[in-house]
């Protein structure tokens, strides 16, 4: 005889009508931009109205009402006791990726995630709601780049991947893209808006009243700036932008400190084996050899990444925190003390984040 749990007669989830379709109320409660997106078409829904008014009052009184930080519970392994699956669109909403686009610390993380989805053609294998959500994120990213006039190269790389994906899907199934025509019509309009935003971006140099400019700085200051760059592609771009930067980028010190930043001494010694104490070493060549062998440090590519709590199996932004069982349950906290203390959260790079979902 099958066993039914206590909540099998539950009325189900509460849903709210938004501009992008119907969404779960508990998911919208985790997003910072939930209020402008909500579109109440049914004026007779008194519960929805009261919930909106309560949340608007809470936004006006942020000091007295604390908002739950964005977080998302993840099913790591399905067992007899725990069964379920992880939805990408729900996780994106719960972790509030829309507002993360406008955070300078999390911007590169969102760009890397979108690049993985567009580069591997994973976007076309997602449900329609997830596709619309990710294209909306890309449009918000384009708006952020247009406002800040920064990270234009990251936006262009995403647009190239998006255009190649769009052309590859043409004719994928009997001459038509997979999915409904209405969905791809929505995608085409979104892609056109993103391209129009990117084409309208115009970066102008500072006026003559702004002093000093970069070209007015002495060579010592330029060297100190380049020594703080951790991406070799930025060094190559800087060397092609100005002759003084090109001269500084040829110095061995720049590449030697870049090697020491990304790789351990044991890895460096393995490549330098047989050379006389590092004399006449081409550190740029050594850097690229080490990069091909070991790759670059992932923890340095992003100012902030998602973290996985090892106690409650919850994804969260480390700077924002999350409601953890280790903080809320005194009995669990006592057991952690007996076991040696709480475990630190595990960082989750974009590639590891996508492994939680069936893509």
Query: What confidence tens digit (pLDDT) does each residue in 158-194 have?
Result: 998 888 776 655 545 545 556 677 888 888 899 999 9
To 5 degrees, how large is the angle CA 24–CA 26–CA 27? 65
Both tokens of residue 35?
């209020």
Least Cα distance to 118 among 141, 94, 102 occurs for 141
Which of 300, 329, 346 terminates a domain? The answer is: 300
Residue 116 forms part of a structural domain = yes
Maximum alpha-carbon separation in the chain:
83
| Whether residue 273 is found in the same domain as residue 191 | no
Q: Which of 276, 300, 324 is the last residue of a domain?
A: 300
The 3-state secondary structure of the chain, one letter per residue: CCCCCHHHHCCCCCEEEECCEEEEHHHHCCCCCHHHHECCCCCCCHHHHHHHHHHHHHHHCCCCCCCCCCEEECCCCCCCCCCCCCCHHHHHHHCCHHHHCCCCCCHHHHHHHHHHHHHCCCHHHCCHHHHHHHHHHHHHHHHHHHHHCCCHHHHHHHHHHHHHHHHHHCCCECCECCCCHHHHHHHHHHHHHHHHHHHCCCCCCCCCCCCCCHHHCCHHHHHHHHHCCCCHHHHHHHHHHCHHHHHHHCCHHHHHHHHHHHCCHHHHHHHCCCCCCCCCCCHHHHHHHHHHHHCCCHHHCCCCCEEECCCCCEEEECCCCCCCHHHHCHHHHHHHHHHCCCCCCEEECHHHHHCCCCC
Taking only the tens of pLDDT, the chain with its 359 residues reads 454 555 445 556 777 777 666 777 766 655 544 434 333 334 344 443 443 444 455 444 444 345 788 889 888 776 665 556 788 888 998 998 988 888 988 999 999 999 988 876 677 778 888 888 889 999 999 999 999 988 888 899 899 888 877 665 554 554 555 667 788 888 889 999 999 999 999 888 778 888 888 888 999 999 999 999 888 988 998 999 899 999 999 999 999 999 999 999 999 998 888 665 556 789 999 999 999 998 887 766 788 889 999 888 899 998 888 888 888 888 888 888 888 778 888 899 998 999 888 76
Separation of alpha carbons 247 and 243, rounded Å: 6
Q: Report pLDDT for 283.
A: 93
317 domain-assigned: no
Same domain, 111 and 195: yes
- CA-CA distance, 156 to 162, in Å (whole number)? 10
**36 is a domain residue:** no
What is the predicted pLDDT for the residue at 220? 94
Task: Identify the pLDDT of residue 121.
Answer: 65
Q: Are residues 111 and 194 in the same domain?
A: yes
Nearest residue to 203 via CA among 146, 141, 159, 157 = 146
pLDDT tens-digit readout, 318-338:
888 888 888 888 888 888 888
Residue 130: what pLDDT?
Answer: 84
Please report the pLDDT score of residue 147 as a whole number. 93
Q: Is residue 182 part of a domain?
A: yes
Half-sphere exposure of 75 (CA within 13 A, CB side): 14
46: in domain:
no
Q: Is 184 in the same domain as 121?
A: yes
191/112 same-domain check: yes
Contact predicate 71/322, CB 8 Å: yes
Are 114 and 176 part of one and the same domain? yes
Q: Is residue 262 part of a domain?
A: yes
Domain co-membership, 192 together with 252: no
Q: Are residues 192 and 244 in the same domain?
A: no
85: which 2 tokens? 């699956």
Task: Tell me, yes or no, whether 168 and 241 share the same domain.
Answer: no
pLDDT for residue 315: 93
Q: What pLDDT is recorded for position 43?
A: 37
| Distances, alpha carbon 328 to alpha carbons 32, 65, 133, 333, in Å | 24, 18, 33, 8
pLDDT of residue 289: 93
pLDDT at 84: 62
Residues 116 and 179 in one domain: yes
User: Are residues 195 and 245 both part of a single domain?
Assistant: no
Choose the final residue of a domain: 279, 300, 321: 300
Q: What is the domain extent for residue 193?
A: 107-199
Residue 147 falls within a domain, yes or no?
yes
How would you class 277 by CB atoms within 10 Å of its CB: exposed for 0-12, middle for 13-18, buried for 19 or more?
Answer: exposed
Token match 């996508």: residue? 354
The pLDDT, as a whole number, for residue 168 is 57
Model confidence, pTM? 0.72
Q: How many domains does the chain contain in total?
A: 2
**Any domain includes 323:** no
């Amino acid at each position: 005889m099958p066993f039914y749990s206590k909540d099998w007669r539950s009325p189900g989830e509460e849903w709210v009508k938004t501009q992008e379709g119907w969404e779960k109320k508990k998911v919208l409660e985790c997003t910072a931009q939930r209020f402008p997106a909500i579109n109440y078409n049914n004026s007779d829904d008194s519960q929805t109205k009261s919930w909106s008014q309560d949340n608007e009052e809470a936004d006006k009184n942020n000091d007295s009402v604390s908002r739950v930080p964005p977080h998302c519970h993840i099913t790591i392994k399905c067992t007899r006791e725990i069964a379920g699956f992880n939805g990408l669109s729900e996780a994106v909403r719960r972790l509030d990726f829309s507002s993360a686009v406008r955070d300078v610390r999390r911007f590169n993380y969102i760009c890397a995630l979108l690049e993985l989805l567009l580069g591997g053609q994973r976007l076309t294998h997602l449900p329609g709601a997830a596709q619309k959500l990710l294209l909306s994120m890309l449009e918000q990213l384009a708006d952020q780049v247009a406002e800040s006039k920064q990270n234009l190269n990251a936006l262009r790389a995403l647009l190239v991947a998006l255009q190649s994906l769009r052309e590859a899907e043409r004719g994928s199934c009997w001459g038509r893209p997979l999915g409904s025509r209405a969905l791809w019509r929505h995608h085409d309009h979104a892609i056109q808006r993103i391209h129009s935003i990117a084409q309208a971006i115009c970066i102008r140099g500072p006026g003559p009243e702004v002093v000093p400019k970069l070209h007015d700085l002495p060579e010592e200051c330029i060297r100190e700036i380049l020594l703080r760059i951790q991406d070799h592609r930025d060094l190559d771009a800087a060397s092609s932008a100005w002759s003084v930067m090109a001269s500084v980028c040829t110095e061995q010190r720049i590449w030697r400190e870049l090697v020491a930043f990304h790789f351990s001494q044991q890895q460096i010694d393995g490549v330098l084996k047989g050379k006389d104490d590092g004399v006449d070493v081409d550190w740029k060549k050594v850097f690229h050899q080490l990069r091909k062998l070991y790759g670059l440090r992932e923890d340095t590519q992003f100012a902030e990444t998602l973290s996985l709590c090892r106690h409650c199996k919850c994804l969260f932004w480390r700077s924002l925190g999350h409601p953890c069982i280790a903080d809320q349950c005194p009995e669990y906290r006592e057991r952690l003390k007996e076991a040696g203390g709480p475990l630190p959260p595990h960082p989750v790079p974009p590639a590891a984040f996508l492994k939680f979902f069936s893509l």
